[in-house]
Amino acid sequence: MQKVQLEENVELLDHPPYSPDLNPNDFFTFPKIKNRLRGQRFQSLEEAVDAFKNAVLDLPANEWNKCFENWFEGMPMCINLRGEYFEKQ
pLDDT tens for each residue of 47-65: 999 999 999 999 999 988 8
In a domain, 70, yes or no: yes
Residue 48 resides in a domain:
yes
Q: What is the pLDDT of residue 46?
A: 95
Residue-number span of the structural domain to which 42 is assigned: 18-80
Residue 6 lies in a domain: no
Give the span between the Cα atoms of 84 and 79, in whole angstroms. Answer: 9
**Amino acid present at 85:** Y
The answer as to whether 66 is a domain residue is yes
pLDDT-based confidence at 27, cuts 50/70/90?
A: confident
% pLDDT > 90, the chain: 30
- Cβ(37)–Cβ(52) under 8 Å? yes
Q: How many domains does the chain have?
A: 1
Average predicted confidence (pLDDT) for the chain: 78
pTM of the predicted model as reported, rounded to 2 decimal places: 0.57
Q: What per-residue confidence (pLDDT) applies to 76? A: 79
Return phi, psi of residue 12, to 5°: -95, 135
